[in-house]
Structure 1
């Protein structure tokens, strides 16, 4: 019983602030890195518009970037198993 209580005390309580709850739509990501961190800019590029604003910037350690890669890979496999293969659109890749 005490072990279960310790596990409950050690669980991370995720808090979603109301101003973030709606999320941000992005259709482009630019990724850069240095030896100590990865920087991901999420961008919304509207058709016909000359500028594309960064709607969110995420900075993380290389270790956490790799964890994100594994989580995305796993979730894309699950998505494709349920809904079918995601076919990349023809065009230039950002990076």
Structure 2
């Protein structure tokens, strides 16, 4: 059985002082609350799949594209570009 969830969010704020936060579903035992600041779009897709009664699989991809900057982040997390993509994959095997 597949379960899909996702979102497309378009944001336009005046900067970090006016940023907005939104809850996002994530892989098992996890969640995300990204900050929307500046101008851009964020989307994510979460896929849950129950392979059988013992194995569950989660896959998530999220992408943020900024229209008002060419560099994202600071320090070691600096990205030279206007997009950031996060990918997660999780498998749960039930012993009982």
TM-score (norm 1): 0.26
Larger Rg: 1
Higher RCO (CA-CA < 8 Å; seq separation 6+): 2
Determine which structure has the larger strand proportion and give its number: 2
TM-score (norm 2): 0.26
Determine which structure has the larger helix proportion and give its number: 1
